[in-house]
Chains A and B, each alone.
Chain A
């Protein structure tokens, strides 16, 4: 249960940042995960009045505000056109429409949660986060950072010559994933992002050039095996480490074949 003594809808990022320097205060995103904690919050800082709830598309990039909901990711035509539907695929099994109308991109990324479909998805793209004080940081670097008192303002997804595919495994629809996989071909470089290992997602590149000769059944299987070998996994109540490693081999292969047009 959380107790909140004061609620402030911030009028500026500077105000939000200043309030957030106290460890007793907390920025609230969609509040779905936060609400499950036991916390005594002096001031809840709400960013919902700062216009960070839109996805802006330019010729070069998508700028996704921290308060954009997962439902907006799911429904944004431009983003899904660019990502070959992977954005919708990644979030569509997260609980229900009501949940996705509340959960935010900023909250999903800031938490660097192991189960995050959102982190898995965007790690496979040429993505950056804009931190209010920390500036623009590659998403992979941000994922490795420890949480501090900065504010995640937006996610930036640069448009490149790219294609994407996303696959995940859940024991039951709407549950947490057992494993999540996003694969991409960005400027002729292949990579796979694997999350819910159950630790947070990591990015593994095709440094050996396994797919350099093209996507075939054999090369997709070889790359998937390489990813499965290099990807550390662990066990929890949803699956053992060995099961997860097996799933990585299956899902990465399927996703790579989908990239090549063979879903």
Chain B
């Protein structure tokens, strides 16, 4: 066992862990159940969390490596997500919903890094998030509608 100390969704946490505990299991142990197992081969993006602001795959990252770093999951970014998830839902892009947390986390990272992405930039940034229901066009339309609405000064509620 080893001790790690990190910030999870703004709260400092100290824990004793096994050396091979993966970050996905660590955050789920601490109540962040939006982070889910998908492919476990680092290909599907379902387990995306932000480490020091950058999207990473928690299924392939040792919790030990997160020692001293800041981790955010969807549980800590609800307000930021609320700005655009309604637009995605309106486009029917959330069918089974399994991929949504990973999609939302990576979209947050995209919009922080590039607040006004083109459609090609959206496709490129979200290429590491797999969805087996929607064919990806719904997510793209939803994000595009959000960006257009924001440019016009609107919000989803309006």
Contacts and interface: CB of A to CB of B under 8 A. Distances in A.
Nearest to A48: B65
Could you tell me the dominant secondary structure of chain A's interface residues?
Answer: mixed
A101 B125 CA distance: 12
Nearest to A30: B60
Interface residues of A, number: 29
B48 A2 contact: no
Interface in A1-15: 2-7, 9
B99 to A, nearest CB: 12
B54 to A, nearest CB: 5
B42 A95 contact: yes
A3 B18 CA distance: 10
Could you tell me the dominant secondary structure of chain B's interface residues?
Answer: mixed
Nearest to A71: B54
A239 interface: no
Interface residues of B, number: 27
A36 B20 contact: no
A97 interface: yes
A8 B106 CA distance: 30
A85 to B, nearest CB: 14
Given A7-B2, A7-B62, A97 B19 contact: no
B124 to A, nearest CB: 7
Contacts of A141: none
A98 B48 contact: yes
B42 A99 contact: yes
Interface stretch (B28-36, B79-87, B126-134): B126-134
